[in-house]
Amino acid sequence: MAAITQPPSGMRDLLPEDVRRRERVIGAVRQVYESHGFEPLETPSCERLDVLLGKYGDEGDQLMFRVMHRRDKLRSALDDGALRTDPERVLADMALRYDLTVPLARVVAEHQGKLPRVFKRFQIQPVWRADRPQKGRFREFLQCDLDVAGSSARTVEVEVLSAASEVLQRLGFADFRVRINHRGVLAGMIEAAGIPAELEASTFVAIDKLDKIGRDGVLRELATRGVTAESAASIATMLDPVDGGNDAELARLRTFLAPSPRGLAALDDLAAVLALAAGSPLAARLAVDPSLARGLSYYTGSIFEITVPDLAGSLGGGGRYDGLIGIFLGRDVPACGFSLGLERIIVVMEERGMFGGPTAAADAMVGIFDASLTRDALALARELRETGLRVDLHCDASKIGKQYQDADSRGVPCVALVGPDEVGRGTVSLKWLKTGERAEVPRGEAAAWIRQRLGTT
Amino acid sequence: MAAITQPPSGMRDLLPEDVRRRERVIGAVRQVYESHGFEPLETPSCERLDVLLGKYGDEGDQLMFRVMHRRDKLRSALDDGALRTDPERVLADMALRYDLTVPLARVVAEHQGKLPRVFKRFQIQPVWRADRPQKGRFREFLQCDLDVAGSSARTVEVEVLSAASEVLQRLGFADFRVRINHRGVLAGMIEAAGIPAELEASTFVAIDKLDKIGRDGVLRELATRGVTAESAASIATMLDPVDGGNDAELARLRTFLAPSPRGLAALDDLAAVLALAAGSPLAARLAVDPSLARGLSYYTGSIFEITVPDLAGSLGGGGRYDGLIGIFLGRDVPACGFSLGLERIIVVMEERGMFGGPTAAADAMVGIFDASLTRDALALARELRETGLRVDLHCDASKIGKQYQDADSRGVPCVALVGPDEVGRGTVSLKWLKTGERAEVPRGEAAAWIRQRLGTT
């Protein structure tokens, strides 16, 4: 047979070990986010095309996976005059979710009566983008979003960042930095550098590329976009790191932003977030970074990014965006959020060996001594499971050596057997595969014997 | 604004309380299945159309949600000569997953070298079907499948059924029955009743409708399908329940199946499953039921269904199907599985009040006494969280009464405050909202005070 058995391009099968690793990361995210008073939300995989279109720019509209009309509706769409000019619109009215922010905005509008005034939610669900598949970039991947909708208080920034950084801490990351900047500070820098307001957006875009193209690349890009050499040189001084930490950076910014009242106001706002975080574990991670721009256009206040030294790009990012959540309500709803890059976190954890070795499918396997003793084996498996152990049962009475091999091939560390002698004596024979250690213990003590060797109690 | 903010037809937003209930059910499923040595698998939401088509019959092919080609490929599809005659095929090459069994079959073929010889997996993921939406039937819903691929041993039936029924037990169901029958027994009954082999499939279909159309309805349907009145009357005797439990039923079947050697062989097979289960908690649930037919055509051995008195239809079903998993491998792989109807389980649990009241968004809320004490509030929230409590922080220093209201509206039972006096004395003021109880306790004792009232330790 030559059947194609691969998953679709850019999508993955997650085998048991992959799922267990993901679950471990997701479990940490969920626990930390719930401990901060955030609540879980789930939305459908599909959204109406009208909900999605126009929210992500032209590229986003192109990269959506559209779900085709069915039967009669599809057939009548084929007769639609607009079929040739606008087939994406005529042949479909739904698409797979592109992110978790637009669905949040829709939910805030749809369920406003049922949601608290300040809605603190997290959402961990896949999103789909028809990007060109490449190493580490998939067409279906999990997003992991944390947002507060309905408050413009600065405690929100601190809570969002504390929660995201506690997740990384909990997962074992010791060397991450939480870079922070402010869109108003950036705008003020642009103003103070004498760059005209109409070049503000292109200047953001150029600065956002600093990590990829370097300082000189940014200068060249600014020139291309029409920024004078003098202004470009002026703003570029602020892209270099400064010695002396956040206080020195804030002082440098205060001097630079002197000509821009709005820049100074934004700097006060940024300083207020830092002041609220002072004394917390987050404070030691926070690094004010005037070169942080973030790609998305919708941010209106603080912006953040979490980075580690061995990964280009970030482990996650976010910021305040007071204009977006209210799109469906028709009025602004202040909001601030953070999106953890779960797939990247897993990649870094794998590269660093942070997951340890493969996890076993079960804590023990009960073998079947011979077919006539199958019920005894089933009973033993039941007893061990009742103590909370994960216990596999060998499906048949193969040769015992074969049964040991089957356990070993699944990483199961222990095999338990009851033969006729053990039945007579009320015991279990146990073998710890890694060391070869064997013991015959009273039936009631088998679970404890296994647990002791698993290192759990 | 008149923006449509509903989810697509037949799909649902799951608000926090919905998600928490689902997570509770899913958590029980996962824990029980892992305790039985089953491993988690996840597959992509989309599958290649070639993988899916023809596996579910014509109706299934029609009910798949197809994912449309993008851009260039879509435009060239519009020029395809087959566009009018076969648009579903020309405009798409992927569809959303229709069930979890075909993806399992594909995974077994694709990853055979990496999977154990006997692959015991569970999979809890959504599937999509373009059914007409109606009460309790959705176009996107979770499936919860447990299967063993690669063994024809009867221990597999017992393990699969034990695991599924332990899930229900764990969730608090006390009154479910595990109905069991065997496709070979059914075939034998048909043979023994003198119904010609070519009417076997239609007879299965008629019997499968017993719950819906009753005994007389089945008789009428059998007549329509060409079964003689005598044969129909003969087989109908076996659809009535018998007194005396499984032993009596097996004896009745043995007599009825006397003219059918294959029926008798299948009966031995069924009896072997019952014998292996004897003495286990499952045994008391098992009810041999010759009228159980199951709709799907692919079953080859034992078939099962779990029912409760207050739900028409079942909470789940399954059986042995030795021909299906190997479709992509080109050779048979024996398999047996069970699919829990998670959405139905939740419906019944809600109707019976098995979830109890709504769960709180957090165990406590830290209020902000006034803006100058925001950092103290943040620190208190951090301390309480470190003890494992789920702690919300009020986002701003609103009036205290307003803060109490905000906590109450989210079901949060307790508010903790530090005002200037408490800061001076190193204490926290606590209020238990339901009873109005207030206390001022040393800071280090606040978590214990809350926990005591939550009833957890």
Residue by residue, DSSP assigns B106-145 as HHHHHTTTTS-SSEEEEEEEEEE--PPPBTTB-SEEEEEE
Residue A6 maps to a domain: no
Helix (H) / strand (E) element for A121: namely strand A119-128
Q: How far is A202 from chain B (nearest CA, A)?
A: 28
Residue B399 falls inside a structural domain: yes
Which of B324, B351, B378 is where one domain is finished? B351
Residue A52 covered by a domain: yes
Q: Give yes or no: residues A277 and A194 share one domain.
A: yes
- Contacts with A4 from chain B: Cβ below 8 Å: 48, 50-51
Alpha-carbon distance of A61 to A64, in angstroms, equals 6
pLDDT recorded at residue B58: 87
CATH code of residue B409: 3.40.50.800
Q: Please indicate, yes or no, whether residues B66 and B22 belong to a single structural domain of this protein.
A: yes
Span B71-87, average pLDDT: 90
- Rounded mean pLDDT of A244-272? 97
Question: Do A381 and A325 share a structural domain?
Answer: no
pLDDT of res. A456: 57
pLDDT, position B1: 46
Q: Determine, for residues A276 and B378 on separate chains, whether the beta-carbon distance falls below 8 Å.
A: yes
Average pLDDT, chain A: 94
Contact across the interface for A393 and B48, Cβ inside 8 Å: no
pLDDT(B456) > 80: no
Residue A81, helix vs strand vs coil? coil
Average confidence score pLDDT of chain B: 94
A160: confidence class by pLDDT, cuts 50, 70, 90: very high
Spatial separation of the C-alpha atoms in residues B438 and B94, rounded to whole Å: 60
Confidence of residue B457 (pLDDT cuts 50, 70, 90): very low
User: Across B356-432, where does the E strand assignment appear?
Assistant: 364-366, 391-393, 414-417, 427-432
Which is nearest to B324 in space by CA: B85, B139, B150?
B150
Q: Is residue B263 part of a domain?
A: yes
Q: Which residues of A touch B94 (CB under 8 A)?
A: 8
- Of A10-14, A341-345, B55-59, B303-307, least confident by mean pLDDT is B55-59
For the residues A55-76, what does the mean pLDDT come to? 91
H helix runs in A257-312, sequence order: 261-277
Please report the pLDDT score of residue A2 as a whole number.
55
CA B282 to chain centre: 19
In a shared domain, residues B310 and B402: no
In a domain, A9, yes or no: no
What span, in angstroms and rounded, lies between the C-alpha atoms of A383 and A374?
Answer: 14
The pair of three-digit structure tokens given for residue A164, joined into one six-digit string: 């995201």
- Do A314 and A408 fall within a single domain? no
Angle between helices A374-386 and B155-171 (to 10 degrees): 30
Per-residue pLDDT tens digits for A199-235 = 998 898 899 889 889 999 999 999 999 999 999 999 9
Judge if A203 and A256 occupy the same domain.
Answer: yes
Indicate whether B445 belongs to any domain.
Answer: yes
Same domain, B345 and B375: no
Tell me which residue in A8, A11, A15 faces B114 most closely, judged by beta carbons.
A15
- A330 and A380 in a single domain? The answer is no
Residue A295 pLDDT more than 90?
A: no
The answer to whether position A356 is within a domain reads no
Specify whether A381 is located in the same domain as A345.
no
Q: What CATH number should be reported for the domain holding residue B231?
A: 3.30.930.10
Q: Is B6 on the interface with A (CB under 8 A)?
A: yes
pLDDT for B295 beyond 80? no
Same domain, B270 and B378: no
Give pLDDT tens digits for B238-265. Answer: 998 899 999 999 999 999 999 999 999 9
Same structural domain, B420 and B291: no
Which chain A positions have a beta carbon within 8 Å of B276's beta carbon? 374-375, 378
* Interface check B115 vs A, CB under 8 A: yes
Nearest CB among B41, B116, B391 relative to A35 is that of: B391
Is B344 part of any domain?
A: yes
Which residues in chain A are contacts of B82 at CB distance < 8 A? Answer: none
Domain span at residue A448?
364-454
Q: What is the mean pLDDT of residues A255-259?
A: 97
Q: Give the pair of three-digit tokens for residue A331.
A: 């009025």
pTM confidence score: 0.94
Total of domains in chain B: 2
Note whether A391 and A423 are same-domain residues.
Answer: yes
Range scoring the smallest mean pLDDT among A103-112, B162-171, B202-211, B409-418: B202-211
Whether B371 contacts chain A with CB within 8 A: no
